[in-house]
Amino acid sequence: MDIQLEKKKGLRPKHYGYIALGLLLLISGWKIIFGNSAATFRTEKDKLSIAEVTQGKFDDDITINGIVAPISTIYMDAYEGGRVTEKLIEEGAMVKKDEIILKLENRGLYEQILASENNLALKQNDLRSTKLTFDSRQVEGRKDLVSSEYELQKLKRNFEQNKSLYNDELISKEEYLISKENYELSQKQYDIIKLQTEQDKNLRNTSLNDLDSDLARMKKTLSMVYERIDQLNVRAPADGQLGFLDAEIGQSIGQGERIGQINVLTDYKIEATIDEHYIDRVKRDLTAVFERNGIIYQLRLRKVYPEVRNGKFKVDLVFTNERPETIRSGQSYNIKLQLGESSDALLLPRGSFFQNTGGQWIFVVDASGDVAWKRAIRIGKQNSNYYELLEGLQAGEKVITSGYDNFGEAEKIVLK
């Protein structure tokens, strides 16, 4: 008798093999379809800037913005401190050299002058007293010298007479010796008085010279103090325009404090800042031009400032020929600064992609216009409009020049 067997429900071992094979096929298909999505970015073409690489003339220049400034600026600092009592000229006015702009007063300086004048008067009195004393001593010394010389001559004559008489044995030896001793004593006294007179004369000359020197120094010091008084009048250091004046009546100004400036308007210069990328190529005497009302004006780079601030450095340019008739301080001009000679090159239009790539690679649009691929390039010089392409691209190829901030690590851009 046959027994009917019931079919087992659930998954059988062979079913596990089918499931594994299906999952394997599913994963392989997903990789084929979506495996490159991490390296692909999709975007709308209209949101991008696309430019064409061309062959043409590369002008090795850059465009910079310059501000007109006076050819030189002279700062005014207070030689002496004081309180402002009078303001004679306002900002913006034209001034002449040595014209008074401000008047200050300084009580302490006035007291110093009085003290210096008193010291000078005392020194002058001392000099007069010393001169009188020396003159008196000189007169007395001359009198003593004359008297001594007279006495010497008299005793000498007596000695010579007694000597003759003694030789003839007409006087005693004692009388002869007395006349001799008196003569020798008078000779010594005369020498002493003469020496003292000469020493007094030398001392007088030395002392009076020292006193005269002290007096001259005091007079010079006093004259310098008088000059300080005159410096309380703040004067214009040169012809020009009073650019600014930081002083008001009643204001106290310290010694050495900056209170204003004079703009010398005999000529003008143009101050400009340049990106530090060009610092090795910007040198003195480079030429530049700018256009104003249809006229081209020539400039020369006169000075390069070595300091770099916020990624830029400063330069000064001056006119080599004529300048605009209506030129004024503060005007701005767009200037083309010539860094080198023009040459034939592949030209890549400038774009913000450079900030993301540093000019080392770029996305190149293929012939279909629907896809762009990442490609390594090498860039040489750059001017205001173009980069000089050295390798990596050909004339006629199109590239994405807008920023790559949203592209991430994509190697491929799909353009919709």
Residuewise pLDDT in 10s, the chain (416 residues):
455 555 555 555 655 566 766 676 776 655 554 444 447 899 988 889 999 999 999 888 888 999 999 988 889 898 888 999 999 998 888 999 999 999 999 888 888 878 877 877 787 777 777 777 777 777 887 888 888 888 889 888 988 898 888 888 888 889 889 988 998 898 998 888 888 888 878 877 787 777 777 777 777 777 777 777 888 888 998 888 888 888 889 999 888 899 989 988 888 999 999 999 889 989 999 999 999 888 999 999 999 998 999 999 999 999 998 889 888 888 999 999 998 888 899 999 999 999 889 889 999 999 888 899 999 999 988 888 899 999 999 999 999 999 998 888 889 999 88
Model confidence over 273-303: pLDDT tens digits? 999 988 998 999 999 999 988 899 999 999 9
Rounded Cα–Cα distance for residues 375 and 392 (Å)? 7
Dihedral (CA of 385, 389, 394, 400) sign = negative
SS3 (DSSP) at 171: coil
Query: For tokens 């001017």, what's the residue?
Result: 383
Could you give the count of Cα atoms lying within 13 Å of 27 in the half-sphere of its Cβ? 6
Spatial neighbors of 317 by CB under 8 A, at least 6 apart, are 66, 269, 270, 272, 288, 299, 300, 301, 302, 335
Phi, psi of 68 (to 5 degrees): -70, 135
Model confidence over 339-364: pLDDT tens digits? 888 889 999 999 999 988 988 999 99
Question: What does each C-alpha distance from 365 to 116, 379, 387 come to in angstroms?
Answer: 89, 18, 18
Per the CB < 8 A criterion, the answer to whether 377 and 333 are in contact is no
Nearest to 302 by CA among 291, 290, 322, 288: 288
SS3 (DSSP) at 125: helix
Nearest to 271 by CA among 227, 312, 215, 237: 312
